[in-house]
Amino acid sequence: MSIADPTTSARRSPLTHWHKNNRAIFTMIGSSSVVESYEPKDGSIDEQRQAKELAICDLSTLPRTGFKGQGASMWLGEQGLHLPSSSNSAVIQSSGSLIAKLSDQEALILSDIFALSNDVGNLVNRSTSDHRELTQQTYILPRGDSHCWFTVTGSKASEMFSKICAVDLRTHKFLLGSVAQTSLARVSSVIIRHDFGDTPCFYVLSDISSAEFLWDCLLDAMYEYNGVNIGINALQSLIDKH
């Protein structure tokens, strides 16, 4: 366990101050400052157990990117990535990264949160040049900054979401790899089902300027089910036990 000051890195989640005020312990994953756990206030909150019932984690500083345009799918294929065939679905690459096809012309790439393949970094590097954009009609999107990234895990997640989202996210309807582009508490969001072990998990990507607002709404909606905020260590444990 390493303790890091989140302000030593220039890239800061909009929730950094909230995390600090709630006794977060930070760590570095690659060059990203992420909460690894929160010091319990009184007694102990078992973040690992919570993660299986209902918990939220902030991954906003971890690498992600997006590409748009007529040639985006083909270009990504040429980079060795495997895209889902239909829109609004996601597949995991062998490297562990996740690719979500948001439309025929748009894809979102999220790095795996533990092993940190350098997929995102490599794509960003290879894509930067006008010439390439024009000839390949592939335009990069600043997804690392335009959206925040939360995970919501646990058996109660679907029911909690139904308080703030009009899409049916029950696990037997919103299957693994499903993607919804919709509104959460009136904030435009992308929701991706990507389980950790056998624990249901939802990636939530929303407009970053409303990150604090949405975080509050999610915690409020989670309150009824005793949901809590957790750090990345607890997410790790969901896979380890599997």
Residue 209 found at the interface with another protein (CB under 8 A): yes
- Quick one: 150 or 196, whose CB is closer to another protein? 150
* SS3 state at 236: helix
Closer by beta carbon to another protein, 136 or else 153: 136
Q: Is residue 37 a contact partner of residue 25, using CB atoms and an 8 Å limit? A: yes
The answer to whether 54 and 234 are in contact (CB under 8 A) is no
Binding flag, residue 212, another protein (CB under 8 A) = yes
Nearer to another protein, 18 or 95 (CB): 18
Select 45 or 208, whichever has its Cβ closest to another protein: 208
| Beta strands, E only, 127-236 | 139-141, 147-153, 179-184, 187-193, 201-207, 228-229
> Would you say 28 or 236 has its CB closer to another protein?
28
Residue with token string 């444990």: 237
For residue 126, state whether it binds another protein (rule: CB under 8 A): no
Verify binding: residue 145, another protein, rule CB under 8 A: yes
Helix, strand, coil % in the chain, rounded to nearest 5: 30, 30, 40
Rule CB under 8 A: say whether 164 interacts with another protein. yes
Select the residue interacting with another protein from 210, 229, 233, 237 (CB under 8 A). Answer: 210
Q: Determine phi and psi for 47, rounding to 5 degrees.
A: -60, -30
Q: Rounded CA gap, 187 and 209, in Å?
A: 10
Residue 78 amino acid letter:
E
3-state secondary structure of 212: helix
Query: How many binding residues for another protein (CB under 8 A)?
Result: 50
CB 161 within 8 A of CB 169: yes
Nearer to another protein, 92 or 217 (CB): 217
**Token pair belonging to 162:** 């139904």
Asked if residue 171 binds another protein (CB under 8 A), the reply is: no
Figure out which of the listed residues 107, 208, 218, 234 binds another protein, where binding follows CB under 8 A.
208
Closest by Cα among 118, 147, 140 to 209: 147
Looking at beta carbons only, is 39 or 145 nearer to another protein? Answer: 145
Residue 211, amino acid: A
Residue of the chain from 99, 108, 165, 235 that contacts another protein (CB under 8 A): 165
Q: Which stretch binds another protein (CB under 8 A): 36-44, 89-97, 113-121, 134-142?
A: 134-142
- For another protein, the binding residues (CB under 8 A) are 7, 10-14, 17, 60-61, 68-69, 102-103, 130, 133-134, 137, 139, 141-142, 144-147, 162-166, 168, 170, 173, 181-183, 185-189, 207-214, 217, 220
